[in-house]
Amino acid sequence: MSVLVVQIPPRKRLGTHAQAEPSSAGEGGSNGVPAEWLWVKTENGLNVHQQGHDAPAQMPPSEAVVAVLSELDVSWHSLVLPKAPAAKLKAALLGMLEEQLLSDTDSVHVSTSPDAQPGERCWVAVVDKPWLAQVLTAFERQGVIVDRVVPSVVPGERPHGHFFDAAPQGGDPEPALAMADANGIVCVPLSGSLARALLPPAAAQSARWSSPPAVAAVVERWLGSPVTLRNQGDQLLHAAASTWNLRQFDLTPRLRGSMAMRDAWRRFMRPNWKPVRWGFAAVLAVQLLALNLWAFSHRQEVQDKQRAQSALLTDAYPHVKLVRNAPLQMERETDLLRAAAGKPGSGDLETLMAAVSSAWPDAQGPMQNLRFQTGQLSLSAAGWSTADIRQFSERLQPAGWTVNAQGGRVVVTRKAP
């Protein structure tokens, strides 16, 4: 499964070096969103196969998109998850955290740990909500839906620390430490004595340490021991491998049907699907060719029958020179011959009277009056019961006649062929 992992730079804060200070969600500042983002793509979740720095629309297609937040943009709080309905859980969490946050609860977004259970202690991640919503919107406007948002570092039972460069872009390196353990996460710069005071000697020996190559030499001198080198791409993959997802509550992705269609189309357009696309196009072309051949054959068959009808008409009636509607002209010529021979046709009065007399209701006497038009006979049905009309109709239907009762009359006509 291909995964596109995007690094979300730290949000802008007041002050020239504010980015290197410990952060807590909800601080004020200018929430700028960059136009281009650092990204890596992996096919197996272990190795970086592609990387770059582009706008979302220029990023390569993938089956999933994961955004990684900076160590400075997430604050962590441990509490007992309230037993509240899903619709009210967010409000309950914000109520419990209200006195611990630096800003109004409306401006922060909360997310619970993946294994959180009601009534048990869990970790709650807090980020600046307007800024995160602005970041997600910037991706969606360019047709990229972020499936998951994950923190760069998460709390854990085993102490582990990751050193990173907290300097503003283009500035001199300013190593900082994100230290995570069972008590939470703290981010502090290495300059000064605070980081040394927060790092017990026992933790320094038992913890796992990682650092980007750019600040590794400074970090190892400060720590007094070697660290695992982890470049930015590897750190992004490490963060994306966690089970956390900060897209919860009102930031949950919507339009999942559209997302599924988009992802399916993007997978279908991948290079390794090229044989399938060619096969699909070939099948479609064969189907269109077969449909056109069938239509041509059907059209030829219809034309052959029309020519046969025209030939039958001109053979039976040699005086007919122009054929426009062979069946209709055949019927008219036949009617003329029958009339000349003195034989009644299917729409003549004699034929209609014979049919009516053969089906006359048993309970009715002679007919009172009638009206005749070619192919139609209207009879007075005064005094006829529903049973009489039904009996009359049932007797005529097998012979191809229809009976309509309306306005005290019964109309008999020949069924249309």
pLDDT tens-digit map of 387-405:
888 888 888 888 888 888 8
> Distance between CA 167 and CA 102 in Å, rounded?
24
- Dihedral, CA of residue 244, residue 249, residue 255 and residue 259, to nearest 10: -10
- Which of 36-45, 206-215, 302-311 has the lowest average pLDDT? 206-215
Q: How confident is the model at residue 203 (pLDDT cuts 50, 70, 90)?
A: low
The confidence score (pLDDT) of residue 227 equals 86
Joined together, the tokens standing for residue 278 give: 């060619």
Report residue 252: phi and psi, to 5°.
-65, 135
pLDDT digits (tens, 9 = 90+) for 212-230: 888 888 888 888 888 888 8
Regarding predicted confidence, which is higher, 340 or 153? 153
User: What value does the mean pLDDT take over residues 16-41?
Assistant: 57
Joined together, the tokens standing for residue 335 give: 């009617």
pLDDT above 70 for 168? no
Q: How confident is the model at residue 22 (pLDDT cuts 50, 70, 90)?
A: very low
3-269 has which fold? Nucleotidyltransferase; domain 5 (3.30.420)
User: What value does the mean pLDDT take over residues 88-100?
Assistant: 86
Amino acid letter, residue 65? V
Q: How confident is the model at residue 301 (pLDDT cuts 50, 70, 90)?
A: very high
pLDDT above 70 for 31? no
The confidence score (pLDDT) of residue 23 equals 37
User: Highest-confidence range of 15-29, 71-85, 291-305, by mean pLDDT?
Assistant: 291-305
Amino acid letter, residue 226? P
Domain ranges of the chain: 3-269, 276-340, 349-414
Percent of the chain whose predicted confidence (pLDDT) is above 70: 89
The confidence score (pLDDT) of residue 300 equals 93
Q: Which residues contact 151 (CB under 8 A, 6 or more apart)?
A: 68, 69, 71, 74, 125, 239, 242, 244, 246
Q: Kindly give the pairing relationship between strand 208-211 and strand 160-165.
A: parallel
In DSSP terms, which residues pair with 125 in a beta bridge? 76, 111
349-414 has which fold? Gyrase A; domain 2 (3.30.1360)
Q: How confident is the model at residue 27 (pLDDT cuts 50, 70, 90)?
A: very low
Residue with tokens 């005064």: 382
- How many beta carbons lie within 10 A of that of residue 126, not counting itself? 25
Q: Kindly give the pairing relationship between strand 401-406 and strand 409-414.
A: antiparallel
> Distance between CA 335 and CA 314 in Å, rounded?
16
Residue 407 — left, alpha, or beta (φ > 0 → left; ψ -120 to 50 → alpha)? Answer: left
> Distance between CA 312 and CA 309 in Å, rounded?
5
Q: Which residues contact 79 (CB under 8 A, 6 or more apart)?
A: 93, 96, 97, 121, 122, 124
Regarding predicted confidence, which is higher, 86 or 80? 80
The confidence score (pLDDT) of residue 202 equals 62
For the chain, the average pLDDT equals 82
- CA-based radius of gyration for the chain: 43
pLDDT digits (tens, 9 = 90+) for 234-273: 889 988 988 889 998 888 876 556 666 766 776 777 778 8
pLDDT above 60 for 62? yes
Q: Which residues contact 407 (CB under 8 A, 6 or more apart)?
A: none
Q: Kindly give the pairing relationship between strand 160-165 and strand 175-181.
A: antiparallel
The confidence score (pLDDT) of residue 304 equals 92
Regarding predicted confidence, which is higher, 27 or 44? 44
pLDDT above 60 for 28? no
Contact 8, 152 (CB under 8 A): no
Distances (CA, A) of 326 to 169, 262, 297, 417: 88, 56, 22, 16
Contact 107, 126 (CB under 8 A): no
Regarding predicted confidence, which is higher, 66 or 359? 66
pTM above 0.85, yes or no: no
pLDDT digits (tens, 9 = 90+) for 322-360: 888 888 888 888 878 877 777 777 777 888 888 888 888
∠ CA 226-227-229, nearest 5°, is 130
pLDDT digits (tens, 9 = 90+) for 178-189: 888 888 888 888
> Distance between CA 285 and CA 291 in Å, rounded?
10
pLDDT digits (tens, 9 = 90+) for 127-143: 999 999 999 999 988 88
Residue with tokens 């054929």: 323
- Residue in 160, 145, 174, 123 with CA at minimum distance from that of residue 21: 174
The confidence score (pLDDT) of residue 68 equals 94
